[in-house]
Structures are given as C-alpha cells and as structure tokens.
Amino acid sequence: MFFLHYLDNAATTLVPEEVVQAMAEALRRHSGNPSSQYPAGTEMKKAVEGWRAVVADALRCESSRLYFTSCGTESDNWAIQAALWQNRHRGRHIITTAVEHSAILEPCKLLAQQGYEVTYLKPDRTGRITAAQVADALRDDTALVSVMLVNNETGCVFPVEEIAALLRRRGSDALLHCDAVQGFLKVPCDPEGWGVDMMSLSAHKLGGPKGIGALYIGQRVRNPRPLLPGGGQERGVRSGTEATAQIAGFAKAVELRREDYEGKLACMAALKDYCRTQLLTIDGMVCVGEGTAPHILAVSLVGYPSGNIVTDLGAQGICISAGSACHQGKASHVVSALGLDKKTAAGVIRISFSPDNTEADVDALCRALKSHRDSRFPML
C-alpha cells in the first residue's frame, strides 16, 4: 500500500490497529452463530447485542431500533423499500435531492420506471438545500422524503431536523429517511430526538471495516418490510447470519471516535480551515460550495481536469478524489447540480480529513498542486 498523505477520508478511512484487534478477537474467541441455542451461540448473541448498544448509544437511540446491514447502500435501499411498502396505499410520490449519493438516486431511477414520481430538489450555487424546498414539494400522495445529512462531495450539512419538524407540522404520513453515512460522529446526529424515521450508517467512514452498516428504524415505521427475506436474523427483518467480526470492528471504531470527540472535531475543522487558506494562495484555485462539515473541503483548480490531478498526486503518494469515489471516474452529478461553468466544474477536487491528519499532509498537498499547475497546460 503506497501513500504518504491520505486525504480521502470521505471515500473510506484507515483502520486503526485497535479495530483490527477487535475483529481478530471476535474471530478467534466468538466463533459461534448468534442464532444457535447452545452456549457458543448465546455467547455470541450477547456479544452482538453489546456491540449494537455501543453504536446505538453514539446515535442516541434505543438498541432495539438499530439493525445491522452489510453497508450504507443496503441501508438506503432497505429504507426506501420499507417506506414505499408502508405507504403503498397512500401514494407514489418521492422527494429527494439531486445531490444524494448514488445509493439513493439509482433506486429512485428504477422506481420512476415502475411508475413512481420523483421530485429532485436542486441545491443553490453554494450547495445548500432548504426545508422550504421540501415544503413546496410535499403533496398528499408523498410516500417518502429522503435527504442526506452531509453531502459527500461538498460537505454541506442539510437541515434534516427542520425537515422532520416540517413533516410533523403538516401532519404528513410521508416517512423521512436520512443517509447519515457522511455525518455520523462528524456533525450532530439524533434521529429519535429529531423525529427522523430511518437513518443509514456505515462503519468504514469512521475507522471501521468495510462490509458493515446499520439502519435506524423509528417507531413510525410499522413492521418494516425486509429487503432480504430469509432466516429471520436481526429480529426477523434483516436475514443473513450476522457479520460478527465486522460488527465488533464497527463498535470499536465508534468507541475510538468518541474518545475526546469534541477535540477530534475541532482538530478536523482547524485543519480544514488551514487547508482552505493555503490552497487559496494557488493561482486559479477557488472554493466550491459552502460546506460546513468539519471533514470535507471541495475546491477547484480552474481549467485543470480533476482526473489528471488525482492521478498525478496519487503517483506521489497523496490521496485525494475528484468527487465521490463511487463515481469511478464518471462526471459528478453533484458538481453538475451546482451549475458551475465548464472549467470550474472540470477542476473540482475533494479533500477530506480524519483526526489523524496533520498540517504536514496539507503542506505536501499544496506543494503538489502548485507543481501540477506549473507543469501542466490548462484546458482550452
């Protein structure tokens, strides 16, 4: 693994040794199937419930409301299907944003082909979405509102708490889902307190392993329809033998992230400010959006294609991204939605931080970007 400066933590995070050890311990000592009735199984069941309680406590919800999944994408898809099933007699209208993760947008495309009507809320040029936009789009036949907490490319924090309050005031039966994959343990996140019906999480965005996520399901969701029917694990609604080692790693990552939690947030926010200041000394560099999440900074080296920048810096051991890693080199729908001019849009890059990053990482990034600009021709 070759990198010297990892600044792509919104794509995935490095796994601390403590998380690796927690997973190894689960594999070595807790090898039973949680559904088995003999002691090894019941011991594992108890361990899983303990790990669930750790994650639920961080989310400020009851453990019984949190269900483990394979990833954030599964959680998103499950939430969409559960909401539409519950409100199948109410209507076939969905409200979401034009800048959601593909785990929301791609299912919505398929649903549109099945006769659902989808309203996509567009951000302003700063990347913001408002509760007023949801209010204007809300209809009697709206079955689902799905709005992310933190945009994964701009770092903009969306007003999920305000949207939940709006739905209550309007007396709407539409269920509210929030993809909080980029927001959990980085910005305030309180689904029960806010009145969010479902909220998606993923472990690998905060130092946990890949292959494990979770879905919070609130009390307004009645008998959530399983996305994966089968053996009836996770209290009968999410089948498949529990990924015990990944769950253990998820819980340990949460514990570690919560240690000196406020200090970690302050560290990332200060580093983001330092990075922004240093980058803006480069001729042609501009900020993109007004993201307030402490860990994501979007900028553009105007006229210099972002794919070339990422490749050049990657060869030097500096890891950043050209938007979401999930786009795999394709044009970003988020950047397109911002209405940027062609040259600005082409140069958009995302820098994303963890509490372990330092000013040395930023300094190396700035030197490499200056060198790239000075040694390459801009697009015509």
Q: Catalytic residue numbers?
A: 326
Three-state secondary structure readout of the chain: CCCCEECECCCCCCCCHHHHHHHHHHHHHCCCCCCCCCHHHHHHHHHHHHHHHHHHHHHCCCHHHEEEECCHHHHHHHHHHHHHHHCCCCCCEEEEECCCCHHHHHHHHHHHHCCCEEEEECCCCCCCCCHHHHHHHCCCCEEEEECCCECCCCCCECCHHHHHHHHHHCCCCCEEEEECCCCCCCCCCCHHHHCCCEEEEEHHHCCCCCCCEEEEECCCCCCCCCCCCCCCHHHHCCCCCCCHHHHHHHHHHHHHHHCCHHHHHHHHHHHHHHHHHHHCCCCCEEECCCCCCCCEEEEEECCCCHHHHHHHHHHCCEECECCCHHHCCCCCHHHHHCCCCHHHHHCEEEEECCCCCCHHHHHHHHHHHHHHHHHCCCCC
